[in-house]
Each structure stands twice: as C-alpha cells, then as structure tokens.
Amino acid sequence: MADTTVEALPEDCLCHVISFTSPRDACRSAVVSAAFRGAADSDGAWENFLPPDYREIISRSVSPVEFSSKKDLFRRLSSAPLLIDGGKKVNLIVGFSEVVELRMVCWLEIYGKISIEMLSPNTTYGAYLIIQLTERAFGLDVEPSEVSIEIGSYKTRGTIYLKCDLLKRQGLVDTLREGEDRVVCVREDKWLEVELGEFYNYGNHKEVKMWFREVKGVHLKGGLLVEGIELRPKQ
C-alpha cells in the first residue's frame, strides 16, 4: 500500500503549501517533523513572506545586508530598521505575527517604532506607510482609518479612507471625503503611500512611534499588503 501520509509528499510540494501560510506557521511546521523542517526552512517558502521588491530595498541599503537564507533575511528585515538611499531614508519592514497579507479581520492596527538615534537631528521627517491592494481587497473604505505619530509629548493624528474600488480601477485618488484629511498617493513603483504624519527631530527623545489603525468598525476587511514604513526628510 502506498504511503499517503503528509511526510511522504515531496519537499517542493510541502514548500509550496507552506508558502501559503504565514511566518509563524512555517516556524511551527519546522518543529513537527524532519520532513516539514526542510520545507519550512527552505528559501522557496520564505521567498513568499518577503516584500515583493525586497531585492531593490536591500540594494539601496547603506550597509551590505548579509544573510545565510531567505528565512534569515526575513528576520533581519523585520527586526531592525534599514537605512537606504545614502542614509536619507529609513525603511521599516513590517514583520507580521500572523500573516504577511491582511486577509480577513475586523480590527486593523499596524504599529512601528524606531530609535531617534537612527535619524538626523534638527530635521523634519515624514513617515509613510507603503501598501498595496490585492484584487480581492474589500471593506477597507467603509470606515476611515486613523494615522498618528508620537514622539515624547508630541502627537499628530489624521484620517484616511482606502478607496479600494477607485485605487484598483484607476490607480488614482479623488477628492477628500467628509471626515478625511489625508489621501493615498501612487508611487513611481506603483505601490501606494499613506503619510502617517511628520515630526521634527530635536534629538532629545528616545523613539518615534507610528500607527495606522481602524478599530471602530466591526465589519470584515482584507486584501491589504504592507511593505513597510518609510521615514524620509521633508524638503
């Protein structure tokens, strides 16, 4: 009788299946059995957990990004900010605890922070959430999302609607809706950019905290891809 257990499947098949899960699930699979370990640690699986343009991101890094595997690269990019473009920008790759793509949730909160020592003093910075909408994006424009910046006692807040149908159909944004004071911008690389806020770095605080969240609505929402949070000096 042929062996019909999961462990009997070829490693490339297991790798393909694991790539549809999440980083946490892949790590859990690695401790299940030796058969799963090889597939769960493979570059093929972890390639799918990295941002689509990760090669371009690391090529713009001020310092060489050394890694032994795609899993190791994911850990490096999701655990520390990356200085890019000659030190003029900081890219924070968001490392999700459950999924890389927001598939279906009721409440959404994306949070990032960075040590102030990573940034140039006496400089005004803008913080931008870099996102993309999948073909199945839904529910993201029912309620406005809140964006905010916090550094010491300084706080900024704003609101924005992610207009799924308009962005997918035209790749553009329209005029502000009632209760909204931010819009989505389309970058040259076709990713979308949401300004979370701006702040002046006096150099006398430890860290900057940044949020993008929609926790008031109880409807389902999903189809959001997040590349990271980018900080760059404002002109």
Asked whether the beta carbons of 233 and 197 are under 8 A apart, the reply is: no
Angle at 48 between CA 42 and CA 54, to 5 degrees: 105
* Predicted model pTM: 0.61
Asked whether the beta carbons of 105 and 221 are under 8 A apart, the reply is: yes
10-residue averages of pLDDT along the chain (235 residues):
56 79 74 74 84 81 86 78 70 49 77 84 89 81 88 89 58 52 76 89 85 84 83 83
Domain ranges of the chain: 6-47, 54-233
Q: What is the pLDDT of residue 148?
A: 94
Q: What is the pLDDT of residue 157?
A: 92
d(C-alpha 202, C-alpha 122), whole Å: 5
Q: What is the pLDDT of residue 142?
A: 81
User: Rounded to 5 degrees, what are φ and ψ at 181?
Assistant: -130, 10
d(C-alpha 215, C-alpha 221), whole Å: 11
**Hey, what CATH class is 54-233 in?**
mainly beta
User: DSSP string covering 104-150, please?
Assistant: SBSSEEEEEEEEGGGS-SSEEEEEEEEEEEEEEEESTTSSPEEEEEE
